[in-house]
């Protein structure tokens, strides 16, 4: 019987890390000595024991097959244990060597090209004295009223020890500072601030960590050491080092937008009435477009005419990518009011197929070399992993220093940051998930648009039994990869309200959730066209405030869910769904993802039999590139 027993309707006690499927993982690591069998006996001494126990060849021949089977069983289990150990060991940071007596002992400041020191970067500026309309001021004044954390998390917060509470508060304060960007466009302050990122303020981090010490109280030492590195670099463990292209591109972008250079712009757009997808599709298209803006030396611009402007949802840490919300909106940059602007070359990018994607992007630098302004409409297919195989783009990625495990995190972190109100909510979850005494498994269960539009269908179909493979997999992952003493939680995101409620009831103390994410365009082109027709009836108005309130809230909810999901230790995703892919790539940790097929029914309404997947086996781990081969690519 598993030592992680998820008793249905049980006491609500948080699960403890189990060792049923593997040997206990150490909290510190040292180079292995000679191979040993359980009990501490070396392979050499074991051979001597065998020779003494079976002195004749006949006895050995009889016993030998049984011995082989026993050793095979042991080595298989040992291999699994080693993989789990290596997975955790590979996530240790080098910052731990600077940790002394509860505080970081920082190395001396050095002006090296890899460091992040204050004052190195020339901050980009924004337009001042913009006369916003009354409607635009409504958008500028809108603030997300972030809810309290879900009671499933609050129960766990109330059970924290003083040491856990102190470390969580320390982590949360750090992230509220270092993961912030700067408001731009409609979301800019008045007067607007120079664009900067909180992670660049090393002086603040040095002073703050010297005044606020933390203690290692147990649990996963690698997770604790990652927090130390986060304090020293200002970024989550494994994030991008400081690359030369970052400053070079910020300078180029500013020069283009202030007309010190010829107009060369790469815009990702979502025109009113177009189908552009939900948040995941948009982030995938955004990151792909930005990559090729960098590679072809163009200023990146982000414009959504529906449902709401992106500069109300995101801040920027580096460049001002804002543009007009709608065609007759106020321009956030003087460039957009110029009389001699080139006409954009509009490219329809929605639902590109794999071969079309490769053909288009592999030759992009030549095909569109002479275009001054390129406007990608509704791009919802990713190309970052595929770009490594393109001749021209592959060389560019090599020069930029980007790798598969960091490319999404690097590019998205360069372009967008959640607004302060979003960060306030996000960090309430992520600071708890980062505790060394917690092992979090992210569960993304996509059930389909019907769950969001038909409550009766949702309740009838989306049951725990129907989606049992996800919870079974989560249990096997926890048994395999959690460390002794860690409390296990399953962070569930799903579009099914019925499934979420049932999971909370059946696994109290284990399942944690936030709120129901809403797909911005569930139902496809029909609802989008209907919304566009309503917008046309508004005349000179930009939007309907009631609809805008709903759209803004839905988008903020989705952003929060995605960023929280990216902080889990392990992710279990639904195949042929984009929402879970982006957070997994944003996290960028190899060997910590499994892709499961979604449940489906036959023509008689019976659940189709799914292949049995043992999530404790290393071969079930998904690679980033394999996830990128399906659905919205990558």
Report the CATH fold assignment for 431-627.
Answer: Rossmann fold (3.40.50)
Cα–Cα dist 203/189, whole Å: 24
Does residue 448 or residue 523 have the better pLDDT?
A: 448
Token output for 542:
């930009």
Token output for 98:
């600077």
Cα–Cα dist 558/564, whole Å: 10
Please return the burial class of 459, using the count of CB atoms within 10 Å of its CB with bins 0-12, 13-18 and 19+. middle
Mean pLDDT along residues 599-622: 77
To the nearest 10°, report the CA torsion of 216, 222, 226, 229.
80
Contact predicate 209/104, CB 8 Å: yes
Cα 448 to its chain centre, rounded Å, is 21
Token output for 45:
């001494």
Please write the tens of the pLDDT for every residue from 402-421.
999 889 999 999 999 999 99
Cα–Cα dist 608/602, whole Å: 6
- Taking alpha carbons only, the member of 500, 568, 491, 509 closest to residue 156 is 509
Q: In angstroms, how far is the first alpha carbon of the chain from the final one?
A: 40
Contact predicate 499/445, CB 8 Å: yes
Helix (H, G, I), strand (E, B), or coil: what is residue 58? helix
Q: Does the pLDDT value for residue 503 go beyond 80?
A: yes
Cα 107 to its chain centre, rounded Å, is 30
pLDDT value, residue 21: 39
Please return the burial class of 484, using the count of CB atoms within 10 Å of its CB with bins 0-12, 13-18 and 19+. middle
Cα–Cα dist 611/14, whole Å: 30
| Cα dihedral sign, 470-475-480-482 | positive
Cα–Cα dist 581/562, whole Å: 9
Q: Does the pLDDT value for residue 573 go beyond 70?
A: yes
Q: Which residues pair with 584 in a beta bridge?
A: none
Mean pLDDT along residues 431-445: 97
Mean pLDDT along residues 256-268: 97
Q: Work out the angle between the directed axes of helices 202-211 and 162-178 (0-180°, nearest 10).
A: 160
How far from 90 is each of 17, 222, 414, CA to CA, in Å? 19, 8, 25
Please write the tens of the pLDDT for every residue from 112-166.
444 343 444 556 778 888 999 999 999 999 999 889 999 999 999 999 999 999 9
Mean pLDDT along residues 575-603: 84
Phi then psi for 575, rounded to 5 degrees? -60, 150
Mean pLDDT along residues 224-228: 93
DSSP for 544-580 reads -HHHHHHHHHHHHHHHHHHHHHTTSSEEEEETT-STT
pLDDT value, residue 22: 37
Token output for 14:
């948080």
Tell me, letter by letter, the H, E, C secondary structure of 171-236: HHHHHHHHCCCECCHHHCCCCCCCECCHHHCHHHHHHHHHHCCCCCCCCCHHHHHHHHHHHHHCCC
Cα 553 to its chain centre, rounded Å, is 20
pLDDT value, residue 424: 97
| Cα dihedral sign, 230-233-235-236 | negative
Cα–Cα dist 371/348, whole Å: 16
Cα–Cα dist 473/570, whole Å: 11
Cα–Cα dist 528/96, whole Å: 51
Mean pLDDT along residues 233-241: 81
pLDDT value, residue 80: 41
Q: Residue 431: which H helix or E strand, with range?
A: helix 420-433
Please write the tens of the pLDDT for every residue from 51-106.
455 555 555 455 555 555 554 444 444 444 444 444 444 455 667 777 777 778 78
Cα–Cα dist 98/231, whole Å: 11
Q: Does the pLDDT value for residue 499 go beyond 50?
A: yes
pTM over 0.85: no
- Taking alpha carbons only, the member of 421, 360, 93, 121 closest to residue 238 is 93
């Amino acid at each position: 019987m598993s030592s992680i027993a998820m008793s249905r309707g049980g006491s609500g006690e948080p699960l403890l890390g189990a060792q049923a499927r593997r040997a206990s993982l150490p909290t510190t690591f040292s180079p292995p000595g000679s191979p040993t069998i359980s009990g501490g006996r070396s392979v050499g001494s074991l051979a001597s024991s065998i020779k003494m126990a079976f002195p004749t060849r006949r006895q050995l021949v009889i016993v030998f097959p049984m011995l082989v089977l026993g050793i095979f069983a042991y080595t298989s289990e040992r291999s699994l244990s080693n993989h789990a150990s290596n997975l955790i060991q590979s996530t240790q940071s080098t910052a731990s060597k600077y940790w002394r007596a509860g505080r970081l002992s920082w190395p001396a400041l050095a002006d090296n090209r890899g460091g992040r020191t204050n004052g190195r970067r020339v901050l980009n500026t924004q337009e001042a004295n913009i006369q916003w309309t009354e409607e635009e001021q409504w958008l500028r004044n809108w603030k997300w009223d972030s809810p309290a954390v879900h009671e499933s998390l609050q129960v766990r917060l109330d059970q924290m020890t003083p040491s856990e509470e102190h470390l969580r508060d320390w982590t949360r304060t750090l992230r509220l500072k270092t993961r912030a960007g700067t408001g731009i466009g409609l979301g800019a302050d008045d007067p607007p601030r120079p664009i900067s990122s909180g992670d660049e303020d090393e002086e603040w981090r040095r002073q703050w960590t010297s005044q606020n010490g933390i203690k290692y109280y147990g649990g996963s030492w690698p997770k604790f050491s990652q927090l130390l590195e986060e304090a020293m670099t200002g970024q989550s463990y494994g994030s991008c080092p400081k690359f030369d292209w970052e400053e070079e591109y910020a300078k180029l972008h500013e020069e283009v937008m202030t007309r010190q250079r010829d107009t060369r712009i790469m815009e990702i757009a979502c025109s009113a009435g177009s189908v552009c997808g939900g948040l995941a599709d948009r982030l995938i298209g955004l990151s792909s477009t930005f990559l090729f803006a960098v590679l072809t030396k163009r200023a990146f611009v982000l414009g959504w005419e529906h449902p709401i402007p992106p500069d109300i949802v995101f801040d920027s840490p580096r460049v001002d990518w804002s543009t007009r919300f709608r065609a007759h909106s106020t321009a956030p940059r003087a460039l957009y009011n110029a009389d001699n602007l080139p006409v954009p070359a509009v490219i329809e990018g929605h639902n590109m197929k794999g071969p079309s994607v490769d053909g288009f992007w592999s030759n992009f630098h030549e095909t569109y070399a002479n275009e001054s302004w390129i406007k990608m409409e509704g791009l919802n297919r990713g190309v970052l992993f595929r770009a490594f195989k393109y001749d021209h783009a592959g060389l560019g990625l090599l020069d930029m220093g980007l790798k598969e495990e960091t490319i999404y995190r690097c590019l998205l972190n360069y372009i967008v940051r959640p607004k302060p109100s979003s960060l306030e909510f996000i960090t309430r979850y992520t600071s708890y998930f980062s505790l060394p005494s917690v092992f979090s498994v992210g569960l993304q269960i996509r059930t389909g648009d019907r769950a969001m539009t038909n409550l009766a269908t949702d309740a009838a179909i989306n049951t725990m039994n129907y989606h049992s493979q996800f919870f079974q997999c989560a249990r096997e992952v926890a048994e395999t990869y959690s460390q002794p003493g860690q409390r296990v939680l399953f962070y569930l995101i799903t579009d099914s309200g019925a499934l979420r409620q049932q999971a909370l009831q059946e696994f109290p103390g284990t399942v944690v959730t936030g709120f129901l994410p809403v797909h911005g365009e569930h139902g496809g082109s029909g609802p989008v066209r209907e919304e566009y027709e309503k917008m046309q009836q508004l005349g000179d108005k930009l939007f309907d405030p009631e609809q805008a309130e709903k759209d803004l809230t839905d988008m903020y909810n989705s952003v929060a869910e995605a960023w929280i999901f990216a902080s889990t230790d392990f992710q279990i995703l639904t195949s042929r769904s984009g929402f879970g892919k982006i957070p997994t790539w944003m996290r960028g940790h190899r060997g910590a993802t499994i892709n499961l097929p979604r449940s489906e029914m036959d023509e008689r309404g019976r659940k189709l039999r799914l292949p049995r997947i043992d999530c404790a086996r290393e071969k079930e781990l998904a690679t980033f590139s394999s996830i990128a081969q399906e659905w919205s690519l990558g």
